[in-house]
Chain A
Amino acid sequence: MTVDDSASLRQMVSFVLRDAGYEVFEAVDGLDALSKLKGRELHLFLSDINMPKMDGLELTRKLRAMSQYKFVPIILLTTESAAEKKQQGKAAGATAWIVKPFTPDQLLAVVKKVMR
């Protein structure tokens, strides 16, 4: 599932992952993502951090509290490369991060790194 309030970024991430053979679900923010889970078996979450209604850190914490998604890799997309922000992501339970801007190849490299 890709979660981002930016339509163009969601489109890019979805294109790249679908072309690589993944099935992708989209959500516009954390709250939308939770409403679309519906008990689906998901193998990866890619989420922006700064979003309205529910940000990526809160979404990460919520997913980690759900037994079905407790161990699913979560990649946070961020423009902030500062160590403090990465620590916040890790503390929330994120698996990895990608710093924007990123290329499709960079996106796939990180996805491949964390996906089983």
Chain B
Amino acid sequence: MPLDMSDLMEEMRHAFRAEALDLLIELDSALLALEAESGDSTLVHRVFRAIHTIKGSGATAGFAHLAGFAHKMEEAFDMARDGRLAVTPDLIDCGLKACDVLRLIMEDTGEGTTVSGEVELTGAFIRLLPTPKMPNAERIEKSKPDTPARAAFEIIFKPNREIFYSGADPVTLLDDLRELGPIHLKAHVDQVPPLTAFEPEHCYLWWEIVLVTDRDRAAIQEVFVFVEDECEVRIRLREDQAAAAALLGSVPAEAFELFSTYIIGSLPNLARLQRAATADSWGMT
């Protein structure tokens, strides 16, 4: 049965309300214990996890006001668990008062209405936190010339050999690219070692890709967002747009060169290895 999103969110809100009551009890309990044992890091972690869950699950369940208020408290106790902020009586006192404010926010049906003590406590947490460094100047993307509505991009995609160890699969990325538009793939096998040196858990292939799409460069980069640190990815607008369109026009839309190119490229290596293996078995090496 198709999921009714509004029903799902309503169920989640209901479930979260019940969960939040337990989390607030846990928060109270951990903070009160911390009053007596401020050096106990286990207690600091308990406080952090409780407020962290209130914020994260609350936000996901649609309690934006609650999550917004919880943010500074979470930040403070995140720093405290890392030892970057001292667990002082003031911090604990703010935490205990915050529990009361969180309860008020949960009870308040006028989502977004400021409740008693909220503003003062937010200010108190901000004062407890170290002065933030000046934010780095945002990188300003150089404005690029407007790309045509439909453009051909040339992409070089070279995964690191250990890419499989993060659970990533280059083929799923190539499938994601195909969803952006017609695509021409050329797999390169020049990095494939002889069978005797072949590690089955390594990726030896890399690809040259021509993609014609009406999406922008950011959409292409998004495909590689989870592997950008593990791959070399170069994306550029092809200079010869007409040739790119002609190239794609000559290849059936569902064609995948990957398998055939790999096999054809590997044949000389396979033949050489077979000869070497035969020589070994006759004791000729």
Q: Nearest Cβ distance between residue A51 and chain B, in whole angstroms?
A: 7
Q: A101: shortest Cβ distance to chain B, in Å?
A: 4
Partner of B3, one of A6, A19, A100: A19
The answer to whether A93 and B5 touch across the interface, beta carbons within 8 angstroms, is no
Chain B interface residues (CB < 8 Å from chain A)? 1-3, 5, 8, 11-12, 15-16, 18-19, 46, 48-49, 52-53, 55-57, 59-61, 67, 74, 164-169, 171-172, 176, 201, 226, 229-230
Give the dominant DSSP class at B's interface: helix
- A114 within 8 A of partner (CB): yes
Tell whether, in the assembled complex, residue A102 and residue B60 are in contact, meaning their CB atoms are under 8 Å apart. Answer: yes
A-side interface residues, number (CB < 8 Å): 37
| Contact pick for B56, options A11, A87, A93, A101, CB 8 Å | A101
Residue contact B169 to A116, C-beta cutoff 8 Å: yes
Q: Are A79 and B55 closer than 8 Å at their CB atoms? A: yes
Measured CA separation A70–B168 after assembly (Å): 11
- Cross-chain contact of A7 among B8, B19, B166, B167 (Cβ < 8 A): B19
Q: Which residues of A contact B67 (CB under 8 A)?
A: 101
Complex Cα spacing A40 to B117, Å: 50
A11-27 CB contact bits vs B (8 Å, 1 = yes)?
A: 11001100100000000
Which residue on chain B has the smallest CB distance to residue A94? Answer: B166
**A11 B167 Cβ-Cβ under 8 A:** no
Q: How far is the CA of A64 from the CA of B16 in the complex (A)?
A: 32
Whether the Cβ atoms of A11 and B12 lie closer than 8 Å is yes
Residue of A8, A96, A115 with highest tally of chain B CB at under 10 A? A8
A113 within 8 A of B: yes
